C-alpha cells in the first residue's frame, strides 16, 4: 500500500516537474528567442509611435512680411481614467469644471448639461472624451487653468494635441503663386516647389491604444521632437502685389471679362515683384489658376516686336524704310488678312516705324513673308533664318521659374510633320498666331529689350533661411549674351516709344513720366485662316520709365464683354494704373528737385521788403546762399532794393512808446515787437503781415491792433 502511494506521488510530482519545465522552457523561448516578435505584436496592439507633424516653414515677402505661415490649433480631450484622477478629486471639482466649459468653451451646453456629460463619461470610463477642437493657443492656456485640467495629463486627464494650419495673412494676395500642399491634390506654387525645405522633419510620439479607433498620447511632449521647416524669402513686394491685384480686379469687373493676369518684374534682376491671376466664378473673381505662368496662349500683336527685331538684326529693313500696307487688306493664299486700324485703310504704304505704331497686321506680315518665304539661291529654306533668330531671342525656351506648371513655348517648324506647316503659317506667325507662349515668357522677351538686350531669368525665391540664419542665397541669373546688337535694341526701343507717343497707346500717355510698350488684341482660337470668334484677348506689355527702365509689366485680359475689347482700352489702362501708383509709391523714381542747374536769380526775384530779426534773416540767406550786405545793425531789420544783385539789410527802427511798422514780418516777430510795446494783438489770415490797423508812428496807448496776413 505504502509503495503504491509513493509511486503515485512520484508520478504526480514528475508530471508537475515536466509541466513546470515545459512552461519555463516556453517562457524562455518567448522572452528570448521570440521576444522581439511578441514585443512588436504587443506594441502594435497597445503601444505605438505615431508621427508628430513638424511646423511648416514660413513664406516671406521681400521685406520679410509673412505671406504664408503655420499657426498651431489644438484638440482637447479628457481621460477620465487618468492615473492621478481619483474619484474624490473628480467629485469635488466636476461642478466647477462643467461651469467653466459651459461658459468659455461650449455654450451649447448648460452647466447642468455639461456636468451630466462629464459624469456619464466618468461612469463609462472614457479615455478620450472630446472637449474642443480648433482651439487657439490663447484659449488653450485659459482652458489649461480650469479645475481638474490644471492637474495636467496624468493628474487631471488633460490631453492636448496640436494641429498646425496654414494661414495667409494677406488672404487672396498672390494666393495661387504662394500655392499649397495637400494630400488630395498636386502641389501648387511656392509651397509645392519648395516643399522639401518647408516641411521640416516630423517627430514621434508614443500613443496607447484605447479601442479599435482611438489611440491617446502617453505624454504631452513628443518623445522625438519634430524639426521645423525652413523659411522661404520671395521677391514679392506686398505693396506692389496689392496695387497689381486691385488694378486688375477693377478692370475685370468693368469689362465683365472672364479672366486676367498681370506680372510686374524688376528689369535688371528678373525679380517678380507681383503676379496677379483672377478668374470669374459664381462667387466673384478669385485666383483659380496661375495664368501668368501656366497658361500657353497665342500672343497676338505683342509678338510683332520679335518679327521686326529679326528683320532689323539681319539688316533687312530700317525704321524709316517705306513698306506697303495695301490699305489694310491683303490675301495670303486663300485667306484675307485685315488691319484693325482705320488709319491703314487710307494708305498704300508707310514707314516700318509707323506700321508698328498702328499695329498693321498686313504691313508686318507682308514684310516677313517677302523676306522669309520660300528658299534662297543656295536652296536653303529661308524661314529657318527667322526661326534661328527667334532662338537667339530665347523664344524657344521656358523661363525656368521655380514653381511647377510652366509649359514650353511652341513655335512651328517646317521640318516637323506634326506641326502642320502651311502657306499661311509664316504670315500668321509673324503677327502672333500659330505660336504659343505664356505671359511670363512674353514679358521676359520684352524685359530683355528694356535691359539693353541682356536676358535675365525671372525668379520668385531669393533666399532660404533657418530662423535668422541664411542657408542659401539664390542670386539672379544674368546672361552675358545680348539677344541682339545694341544698335538693334536701340531701334526696338524707338518702336516701343512710338507706340505710346503716337501709336495705338497714345491715349495712355502721362506728363508725370514716360513709358514704352506694345498693345495687342487677338482673337481666341484663331486657327489657319478660320475665324471662329470666341472672344478676344487684350494685352499690353512694356516697361517704365523709358529712359532708365526699372520695371517691366505685362497685362492680359481674356474675353472682355463690355465697353471695349482692344488692348489700348482694356489692358493698357491697367498697366498705366499700376505704373501711376508705383510712381507715387516709389520716391526713387522721381527726379530730385535739386537735380537741376541752379537758375540765375534776377533782381526782382530777390526778397524785397522782407522784415524780421537779424539773426533769422542772416541764417536763411546763408542757407540759400543769397548774397547780402548789412548797412546798419539792430535787432529788427528789413531788406531794401538790391545793388549789384546783393541784398541790402537796413535797420527798421522801433521808437519808444511808438507803434512800429511790422508789415513784411512773420507773425512771431510781429507779436514780439508789438507785445513788448504793451499792445494787444489780433491776427487774421495766414502768411506774413500785409497790413496793420494802427498807423506806424502812432503813440502807444494800450490799444488793440489787428494784423492782416497774406
Q: Is the pLDDT of residue 487 over 80?
A: yes
Q: Which residues, 6+ apart, have CB-to-CB distance to 42 below 8 Å? A: none
Least confident of 322-331, 451-460, 509-518, 604-613: 604-613
559-569 exposure pattern, b = at least 16 Cβ within 10 A, e = fewer:
bbeeeebbbbb
Average pLDDT over residues 646-665: 77
Which one is predicted more confidently, 673 or 68?
Answer: 68
pLDDT given for residue 643 in this prediction: 58
pLDDT given for residue 40 in this prediction: 62
User: Taking phi first (over 0 means left), then psi (-120 to 50 degrees means alpha), and beta for anything else, what does residue 434 get?
Assistant: left
Q: How far apart (Å, rounded) are the C-alpha atoms in residues 263 and 572?
A: 13
Please answer whether residues 205 and 226 qualify as being in contact, where contact means their C-beta atoms are separated by less than 8 angstroms.
no
Q: How far apart (Å, rounded) are the C-alpha atoms in residues 445 and 307?
A: 12
Q: How far apart (Å, rounded) are the C-alpha atoms in residues 159 and 177?
A: 38
Average pLDDT over residues 59-70: 92
pLDDT given for residue 528 in this prediction: 43
Please answer whether residues 218 and 426 qualify as being in contact, where contact means their C-beta atoms are separated by less than 8 angstroms.
no
pTM of the model: 0.74
pLDDT given for residue 679 in this prediction: 82
Least confident of 228-232, 541-545, 598-602: 598-602
pLDDT tens digit string along 536-594? 999 999 999 999 999 999 999 999 999 899 999 999 999 999 999 999 888 877 766 56
Please answer whether residues 362 and 329 qualify as being in contact, where contact means their C-beta atoms are separated by less than 8 angstroms.
yes
Q: Is the pLDDT of residue 142 over 90?
A: yes
Residue ranges of the chain that CATH labels 3.90.1310.10: 49-234
pLDDT given for residue 151 in this prediction: 92
- Least Cα distance to 424 among 373, 386, 349 occurs for 373
| Residue 542 grid coordinates | 512694356
Average pLDDT over residues 8-22: 81
Least confident of 7-16, 372-381, 413-422, 555-564: 7-16
Q: How far apart (Å, rounded) are the C-alpha atoms in residues 198 and 56?
A: 5
Which one is predicted more confidently, 699 or 393?
Answer: 393
Q: How far apart (Å, rounded) are the C-alpha atoms in residues 635 and 632?
A: 10
- Least Cα distance to 509 among 580, 407, 459, 449 occurs for 580
- What rounded mean pLDDT belongs to the chain? 87
Q: Is the pLDDT of residue 596 over 60?
A: no
pLDDT given for residue 641 in this prediction: 60
Which one is predicted more confidently, 555 or 423?
Answer: 555
Least confident of 149-153, 200-204, 211-215, 686-690: 211-215
pLDDT given for residue 608 in this prediction: 62
91: number of Cβ within 10 Å: 11
Please answer whether residues 255 and 521 qualify as being in contact, where contact means their C-beta atoms are separated by less than 8 angstroms.
no
Q: How far apart (Å, rounded) are the C-alpha atoms in residues 108 and 78?
A: 18
From the candidate CATH numbers 3.40.50.2300, 3.30.470.20, 2.60.120.10, 3.90.1310.10, the one assigned to the domain spanning 49-234:
3.90.1310.10
Please answer whether residues 402 and 460 qualify as being in contact, where contact means their C-beta atoms are separated by less than 8 angstroms.
yes
pLDDT given for residue 529 in this prediction: 46
Coil, strand or helix at 40: helix
546: number of Cβ within 10 Å: 18
284: Cα separation from own chain's centroid: 21
Residue 607 burial by CB count (10 A; 0-12/13-18/19+): exposed, middle or buried?
A: middle
Q: How far apart (Å, rounded) are the C-alpha atoms in residues 386 and 393?
A: 11
pLDDT-derived band at 607, boundaries 50, 70, 90: low
With helix as H, strand as E and coil as C, how does 529-570 read? CECCCCCEEEEEEEEECCCCCCEEEEEEEECCCCCCCCCCCC
pLDDT tens digit string along 501-539? 999 999 999 988 999 999 999 988 765 444 455 689 999
Which one is predicted more confidently, 174 or 388?
Answer: 388
pLDDT tens digit string along 247-281? 999 999 999 999 999 999 999 999 999 999 999 99
Domain 242-589, second-level architecture: 3-Layer(aba) Sandwich (3.40)
Q: How far is CA 263 from CA 157, 273, 521, 542, in A?
A: 54, 8, 18, 11
DSSP strand E in 31-108: where?
Answer: 47-52, 59-60, 66-78
Q: Regarding beta strands 215-217 and 203-209, do their DSSP bridges make them parallel or antiparallel, or are they unpaired?
A: antiparallel
Average pLDDT over residues 326-333: 93
Q: Is the pLDDT of residue 318 over 50?
A: yes
Average pLDDT over residues 88-113: 93
Q: Is the pLDDT of residue 464 over 70?
A: yes
Q: How far is CA 53 from CA 140, 159, 161, 167, 199, in A?
A: 19, 17, 11, 16, 9
- Least Cα distance to 312 among 254, 378, 393 occurs for 393
With helix as H, strand as E and coil as C, how does 191-254 read? HHHCHHHHCCECEEEEEEECCCCCEEECCCCCCECCECCCEEEECCCHHHHHHHHHHHHHHHHH
pLDDT tens digit string along 177-209? 999 888 778 889 999 999 999 988 888 877 777
User: Taking phi first (over 0 means left), then psi (-120 to 50 degrees means alpha), and beta for anything else, what does residue 412 get?
Assistant: beta
Which one is predicted more confidently, 592 or 135?
Answer: 135
Q: How far apart (Å, rounded) are the C-alpha atoms in residues 185 and 473?
A: 30
Q: How far apart (Å, rounded) are the C-alpha atoms in residues 321 and 352?
A: 6
Q: How far apart (Å, rounded) are the C-alpha atoms in residues 449 and 445?
A: 7
| Residue 512 grid coordinates | 508725370
Q: What are phi and psi of 570, to 5 degrees?
A: -110, -60
Q: How far is CA 3 from CA 7, 465, 597, in A?
A: 6, 90, 137
Q: Which long-range contacts (CB under 8 A, 24 or more apart) does 176-179 make?
A: 176/277, 176/287, 176/288, 176/289, 176/290, 177/236, 177/275, 177/277, 177/290, 177/293, 177/403, 177/460, 178/59, 178/67, 178/68, 179/403
> Could you give the angle at the alpha carbon of 249 between the alpha carbons of 244 and 252, nearest 5°?
125
Q: Is the pLDDT of residue 43 over 60?
A: no
Residue ranges of the chain that CATH labels 3.40.710.10: 242-589
Q: Is the pLDDT of residue 619 over 90?
A: no
568: Cα separation from own chain's centroid: 25
Least confident of 112-116, 461-465, 702-706: 702-706
Q: Which residues, 6+ apart, have CB-to-CB distance to 456 below 8 Å? A: 267, 268, 269, 270, 444, 447, 448, 476, 477, 478, 479
Q: How far is CA 610 from CA 455, 617, 639, 675, in A?
A: 59, 9, 5, 20
pLDDT tens digit string along 101-129? 999 999 999 999 999 999 999 999 898 89
- Least Cα distance to 230 among 461, 481, 560 occurs for 461
Cis status of the peptide bond prior to 545, with omega within 30 of 0: yes
Average pLDDT over residues 78-88: 90
Amino acid at each position: 500500500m505504502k509503495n503504491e502511494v509513493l509511486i503515485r506521488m512520484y508520478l504526480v510530482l514528475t508530471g508537475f516537474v515536466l509541466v513546470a519545465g515545459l512552461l519555463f522552457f516556453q517562457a524562455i523561448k518567448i522572452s528570448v528567442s521570440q521576444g522581439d516578435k511578441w514585443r512588436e505584436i504587443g506594441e502594435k496592439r497597445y503601444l505605438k509611435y505615431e508621427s508628430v507633424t513638424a511646423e511648416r516653414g514660413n513664406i516671406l515677402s521681400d521685406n520679410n512680411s509673412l505671406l504664408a505661415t503655420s499657426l498651431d490649433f489644438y484638440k482637447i480631450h479628457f481621460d477620465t481614467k487618468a492615473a492621478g484622477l481619483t474619484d474624490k478629486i473628480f467629485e469635488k471639482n466636476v461642478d466647477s469644471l462643467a461651469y467653466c466649459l459651459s461658459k468659455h468653451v461650449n455654450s451649447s451646453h448648460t452647466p447642468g448639461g455639461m456636468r451630466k456629460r462629464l459624469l456619464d463619461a466618468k461612469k463609462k470610463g472614457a479615455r478620450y472624451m472630446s472637449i474642443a477642437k480648433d482651439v487657439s493657443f490663447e484659449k488653450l492656456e485659459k482652458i489649461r487653468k480650469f479645475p481638474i485640467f490644471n492637474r495636467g495629463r496624468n493628474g487631471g486627464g488633460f490631453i492636448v494635441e496640436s494641429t498646425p494650419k496654414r494661414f495667409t495673412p494677406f488672404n487672396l494676395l498672390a494666393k495661387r503663386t504662394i500655392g499649397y500642399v495637400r494630400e488630395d491634390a498636386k502641389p501648387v506654387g511656392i509651397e509645392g516647389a519648395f516643399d522639401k525645405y518647408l516641411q521640416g522633419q516630423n517627430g514621434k510620439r508614443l500613443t496607447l491604444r484605447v479601442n479599435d479607433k482611438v489611440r491617446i498620447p502617453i505624454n504631452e511632449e513628443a518623445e522625438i521632437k519634430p524639426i521645423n521647416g525652413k523659411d522661404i524669402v520671395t521677391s514679392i513686394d506686398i505693396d506692389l502685389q496689392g496695387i497689381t491685384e486691385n488694378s486688375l480686379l477693377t478692370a475685370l469687373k468693368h469689362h465683365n471679362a472672364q479672366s486676367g493676369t498681370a506680372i510686374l518684374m524688376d528689369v535688371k534682376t528678373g525679380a517678380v515683384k507681383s503676379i496677379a491671376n483672377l478668374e470669374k466664378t459664381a462667387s466673384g473673381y478669385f485666383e483659380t489658376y496661375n495664368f501668368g505662368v501656366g497658361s500657353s496662349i497665342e500672343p497676338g500683336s505683342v509678338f510683332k516686336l520679335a518679327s521686326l527685331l529679326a528683320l532689323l538684326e539681319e539688316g533687312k529693313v530700317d525704321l524709316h524704310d517705306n513698306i506697303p500696307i495695301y490699305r489694310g487688306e491683303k490675301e495670303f493664299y486663300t485667306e484675307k488678312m485685315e488691319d484693325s486700324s482705320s488709319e491703314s485703310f487710307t494708305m498704300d504704304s508707310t514707314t516700318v516705324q509707323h506700321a508698328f505704331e498702328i499695329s498693321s497686321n498686313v504691313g508686318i506680315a507682308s514684310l516677313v513673308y517677302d523676306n522669309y518665304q520660300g528658299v534662297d539661291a543656295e536652296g536653303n529654306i529661308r524661314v529657318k533664318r527667322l526661326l534661328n533668330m527667334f532662338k537667339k531671342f530665347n523664344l524657344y525656351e521656358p523661363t525656368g521659374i521655380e514653381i511647377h506648371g510652366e509649359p514650353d513655348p511652341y513655335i512651328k517648324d517646317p521640318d516637323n510633320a506634326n506641326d502642320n506647316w502651311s502657306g499661311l503659317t509664316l504670315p500668321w506667325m509673324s503677327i502672333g498666331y500659330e505660336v504659343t507662349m505664356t505671359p511670363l515668357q512674353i514679358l521676359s522677351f520684352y524685359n530683355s529689350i528694356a535691359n539693353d538686350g541682356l536676358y535675365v531669368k525671372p525668379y520668385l525665391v531669393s533666399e532660404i533661411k533657418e530662423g535668422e540664419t541664411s542657408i542659401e542665397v539664390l542670386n539672379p541669373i544674368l546672361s552675358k549674351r545680348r539677344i541682339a546688337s545694341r544698335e538693334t535694341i536701340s531701334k526696338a526701343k524707338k518702336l516701343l516709344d512710338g507706340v505710346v507717343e503716337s501709336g495705338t497707346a497714345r491715349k495712355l500717355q502721362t506728363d508725370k513720366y514716360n513709358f514704352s510698350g506694345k498693345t495687342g488684341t487677338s482673337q481666341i482660337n484663331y486657327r489657319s485662316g478660320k475665324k471662329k470668334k470666341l472672344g478676344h484677348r487684350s494685352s499690353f506689355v512694356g516697361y517704365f520709365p523709358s529712359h532708365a527702365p526699372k520695371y517691366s509689366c505685362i497685362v492680359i485680359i481674356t474675353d472682355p464683354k463690355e465697353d471695349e475689347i482692344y488692348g489700348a482700352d482694356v489692358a493698357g489702362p491697367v498697366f498705366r494704373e499700376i505704373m501711376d501708383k508705383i510712381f507715387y509709391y516709389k520716391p526713387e523714381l522721381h527726379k530730385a528737385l535739386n537735380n537741376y542747374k541752379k537758375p540765375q536769380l534776377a533782381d526782382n526775384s530777390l526778397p524785397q521788403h522782407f522784415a524780421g530779426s537779424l539773426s533769422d534773416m542772416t541764417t536763411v540767406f546763408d542757407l540759400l546762399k543769397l548774397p547780402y550786405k548789412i548797412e546798419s545793425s539792430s535787432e529788427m531789420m528789413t531788406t531794401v532794393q538790391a545793388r549789384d544783385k546783393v541784398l541790402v539789410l537796413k535797420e527798421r527802427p522801433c521808437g519808444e512808446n511808438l507803434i512800429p511798422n511790422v508789415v513784411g514780418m512773420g507773425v512771431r516777430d510781429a507779436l514780439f515787437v508789438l507785445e513788448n510795446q504793451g499792445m494787444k494783438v489780433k491776427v487774421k489770415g495766414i502768411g506774413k503781415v500785409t497790413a496793420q490797423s494802427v498807423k506806424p508812428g502812432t503813440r502807444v496807448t494800450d490799444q488793440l491792433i489787428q494784423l492782416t496776413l497774406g
